[in-house]
Amino acid sequence: MVSGRRIRVRGQVQGVGFRPFVWSLAQRFGVSGEVSNDAEGVLILCAGGDLDGFEAALRGEAPPLARVDAVESCAAEVPVGEGFAIVASGGPGAETRVTPDAASCGDCVAEIFDVGRRRGYAFTNCTNCGPRFTILTGLPYDRAQTTMAGFVLCDACRTEYEDPGDRRFHAQPVACPDCGPRLWFEREGREVAGDAVARAAEALGRGAILAVKGLGGFHLCCDATDAGAVAELRRRKRRPAKPLALMASFEVLKGYAAPGVAERALLEEPAAPIVLLPKQEGGLPEALAPGQGALGWMLPYTPLHHLLCSAVGRPLVMTSGNLSGEPQAIGNAEARETLGGLVDAFLMHDRDIARRLDDSVERITPQGPMVLRRARGRVPGTLALPDGFPTRQVVAYGGQMKAAICLVKNGQALLGHHLGELDEALTWEAFLQADRDYAALFDHRPEAVACDLHPGYRASQHAQGLGLPVVEVQHHHAHLAACLGENRWPLDAGQVAGIVLDGTGLGADGTLWGGELLLGDYRGVERLGWLRPAPLVGGDRAAREPWRNALVRLDQAGLGDEAEAFFAAHPLAPLRMAAAKGLNAPLSSSAGRLFDAVAACLGICPAVQSYEGEAATRLEALAGGAGEGYNLPFAKGVFDTAPLFRQLVQDGRAGVPVAQRSWRFHAGLAEAFAAQARALVESGRAEAVALSGGCFQNALLLDLTVKALGDVPVLIHRKTPANDGSLALGQALVALARLESR
């Protein structure tokens, strides 16, 4: 034993090449000792050489995929011999975090197109890239605990794997054509001889629709420049209008879009999300995203994608491989069964996918980055809890739509991946699997569970049946808490004004809320303002048929004649009777349904929406111009919508363009809520304003609201979705705050 140091590194430090990084630093600074992985992260026992320089480099020169939260060092008597050793991982446990899947690095991309044994190999990876979470079956993260366990390393790969100086040192998915997964092209249940990528590219060039097995599931793929193929894909998938994601190399993408510096940086991140980029005139079929102002683009993020995109040389549709409303397929047999009737052929491989992960969807707005769907490449990354929260374990289950689970442990919140709508049976099965999966992988033992107030939500029913103390959290309070938590707002930092605009959530008074001005913090909120309630005639049908919302809002404004002119083809009398008698017509202050009503009045998909948010996103895409926002006067806690609709109709009679009327609606809504929230800060009742809820994924509304708030502190979502995808995070924080106060 000699006098030295015991150094603990915490964070995202396993499966990212941290141990060979430490080894190389030890050579550089003349340090002896050893480094290992264990349940808490990376442990270093060291002595000799320049220990101060060594420790400083640990903090400042971490590998590309690492995230260092803490480097804890103390003097210790350590067993040190000659040189510096990388030792085997310690026992199982999950105090450290698991690394998200990472897009192919430049070295690996170059390798698959260069001369060598991995030329054209679709499963090339190294320590700096490749699958992680999607192949992980247990902890610690070693090859035996991944779906690569059945592929025995050949001598050449093992040499790389065991060499601390090689970029493939302990890269768990390392493989080559001699020992790794195999790719093939399959048609009508039979493998087709020949180069699989070449066969696929040839088929795509003929207008075929393929199922392509990726990292977190299958994609449905076709040539995005082929209008006929796009139309046929929509017909087969029964997806008439929802935007389709695109994939292309950056060089090809530049011919169809003009990403800015921030957008390019986001596209090229290791997470490789789908990034919304403004449409350009011409070049691609309108059917890719009808009525939208942007297309969702992603760069190839696996060697297979790089090879396929290079072989085709044109943008490809890469949309989730599933039947509408169902989770995407991940298994080969599952894909053959569920996708066989949708595709002409399969591009298949034999590396199993351990868990289903959709592609993340993000955008750059005038207010910075925005996450619309948090999934592949982002999970299971964690968020540090704000100051003041106890280090207790809780689990939260989110809402009914855009479901996601949140686990809190050791001062970190793990917000899980996007699961979808829990009404769908297969999505519910995926939810239950994710619950078991996360608990096992992260050794999570919650002492309490948080859920939404709504007793009809399947996630809430699940929480109630676990036998744990249950913390019920009002929907919009959870939205507010999620925004506070992402922004590291301390537990005792004071109250904030919350503008929470979304579809619907059960309110504390038993009605359906959705257009709210709140004052509060993690522990509780007070409702100070809301949109004038209107009946949702037909219940859930009101969310699918915008004309229903327009009818009741126009009637409230004394514009019944206009409603009859706009919607003469619809059965207005029975709906009016239902609204008057309250028959399946619950009152709601929903901002989402207000968007639908305005869209219907402007002729935007008034009869029916083919997907959630279609009317609102088309309304945003259409908006243009300037001028004064429509008036929503505030009195006795109510934002009155009647003047807005009177002005909207008056503008229509005066021939004001639809684009400007849309803009005036956005501006009026932003200005009305911002004025009241700003007043709360200026009066000293609030310390800042937080913006949350699905409506704030509208970049125009977000920008106009932030500008209307002026110079008061504003908190917005940048790393988590403003929609229900972050609801579980807010629930978990509220639960922790209440546990802390007991």
The superfamily in CATH containing domain 529-715 is ATPase, nucleotide binding domain (3.30.420.40)
Residue 250 has a pLDDT of: 98
For the residues 699-721, what does the mean pLDDT come to? 98
Of the candidate ranges 270-279, 563-572, 733-742, the one whose mean pLDDT is the lowest: 733-742
Mean pLDDT of the chain: 95
**Does the pLDDT value for residue 207 go beyond 60?**
yes
pLDDT, residue 305, reads 98
- pLDDT tens for residues 288-325? 999 999 999 999 999 999 999 999 999 999 999 988 77
555: left (phi over 0), alpha (psi -120 to 50) or beta: alpha
Amino acid 314: pLDDT: 97
Name the catalytic one among 5, 19, 143, 374: 19
User: How many angstroms separate the CA atoms of 531 and 129, rounded?
Assistant: 48
pLDDT digits (tens, 9 = 90+) for 661-695: 999 999 999 999 999 999 999 999 999 999 999 99
Distances (CA, A) of 731 to 433, 457, 468, 723, 737: 20, 14, 15, 13, 10
* Count of C-beta atoms within a 10 Å radius of residue 400: 18
Determine the Cα–Cα distance for residues 551 and 596; give it in Å rounded to an integer.
11
Asked whether the predicted pLDDT for residue 235 surpasses 70, the reply is yes
| Lowest-confidence region among 66-75, 507-516, 584-593 | 66-75
Percent of all residues in the chain with a pLDDT value above 90, rounded to a whole number: 88
The pLDDT value given to residue 14: 80
Q: And the tokens for 43?
A: 């442990």
Torsion angle, alpha carbons of 715, 720, 721, 726, to 10: -100
Query: For residues 487 and 28, what is the distance between their CA atoms, to the nearest angstrom?
Result: 38
Least confident of 321-330, 526-535, 652-661: 321-330
| Interval 404-456: pLDDT, tens | 999 999 899 999 999 999 998 989 999 999 999 999 988 899 999 999 999 99
pLDDT class of 81 with cuts at 50, 70, 90: confident
Residue 11 in tokens: 């964070």
pLDDT digits (tens, 9 = 90+) for 362-372: 999 999 999 99
Tell me which of 38 and 30 has the higher pLDDT.
30
Give every CB contact of residue 736 below 8 A, 6+ residues apart in sequence.
385, 389, 390, 392, 394, 408, 522
- Paired with 210 in beta bridges are 221, 345
Confidence (pLDDT) at 626: 83
CA 400 to chain centre: 16
Distance separating alpha carbons of residues 217 and 134, to the nearest angstrom: 9
Q: For residue 337, is pLDDT > 60?
A: yes
Percent of the chain's residues with pLDDT above 70: 99
Tell me the two tokens of residue 282.
């011409």
Domain residue extents for the chain: 2-86, 185-349, 529-715
| Global pTM value | 0.94
Task: Count Cα atoms within 13 angstroms, Cβ side, for 177.
Answer: 10
Check residue 281 and give its pLDDT.
84
19 is catalytic: yes
**What is the structure's pLDDT at 90?**
61
How far is the C-alpha of 456 from the C-alpha of 472, rounded, in Å? 13
pLDDT above 60 (res 25): yes
Answer whether 163's CB lies under 8 Å from 170's CB: no
Q: What is the pLDDT of residue 696?
A: 98
Q: Domain 185-349 adopts which CATH fold?
A: DHBP synthase (3.90.870)
Catalytic residue of the set 37, 125, 322, 332: 37
CB 398 within 8 A of CB 727: yes
User: Mean pLDDT across the stretch 110-133?
Assistant: 96
CA distances from 594 to 479, 488, 536, 554 (A): 19, 31, 11, 11
**585-623, pLDDT tens digit by residue?**
999 999 999 999 999 999 999 999 999 999 999 999 999
Overall average pLDDT of the 269-291 stretch: 95
Q: What confidence tens digit (pLDDT) does each residue in 427-439 have? A: 999 999 999 999 9
Q: How far apart are CA 482 and CA 502, in angstroms?
A: 14
Tokens found for residue 391: 């280090």
pLDDT of residue 91: 57
Architecture of domain 2-86: 2-Layer Sandwich (3.30)
